[in-house]
Amino acid sequence: MSLEHIILGFLHFKPQTGYELKKYIDVSTRFMTHTTLSRIYPMLKRLDDKKCVSFETRTQEGKPDSKVYSLTPLGEDEFRRWLEEPAKLDLHSFNNFKLKFFFSGFLSKDILISRISRELEFRKKQLAESDSQEIVPPADMVDSKYICVDEATRYWELTHMMGNKHLRSYVEWLEYIYAETELQISRPLS
């Protein structure tokens, strides 16, 4: 995940200060990413140097001046390029897809359906493989003089069970958003 593209995405909604970006990132994408002002401000500077954003200085009475950042056409192009390329399929994280999904209001519904379908197919295969795996620690991994083999196996099973439940829940969510998006295509919002 790229902080650069997250910032460009939030600026696509409206011009904002670094502080406002931090506030909105914390509230809306907190389950996918976390950042700090000490990372946001240098990134805004880099984006300004690359001509992806511009800023206006806002004078505030009794407070320091603030910079309000806006997307430039170059920044909009870069955001759209990132958003339109398929999310990286990652066995260990759902965040690549979820973050792009968060900004999907800027995509055509046809592209969105194909992205959801791709992620859903990948996760269903991952779930099927996970369901079929044996959940016992390798015999040479557990030494009974340090831990009871049955106890070690039980913790492996419980951890695997949590991972499977999480993955199953994610697949259910993907099926739901797929159906919702198809419904929007057949009945556009007015």
**Do the domain assignments include residue 103?**
no
Average pLDDT over residues 157-177: 93
37 occurs within a structural domain: yes
Q: Tens digits of per-residue pLDDT, 60-104?
A: 888 889 999 999 999 999 999 999 999 999 988 888 999 999 999
* Termini Cα distance of the chain: 33
| Overall domain count for the chain | 2
Q: Are residues 150 and 175 in the same domain?
A: yes
Q: Tell whether 36 and 112 lie within a shared domain.
A: no
121 and 68, same domain (yes or no): no
Domain that residue 139 falls in: 108-186
Mark whether 76 and 114 lie in a shared domain: no
> Both 81 and 112 in a single domain?
no
Q: What is the pLDDT of residues 20-63, one digit of tens each?
A: 999 999 998 877 888 899 999 999 999 999 999 999 999 988 88
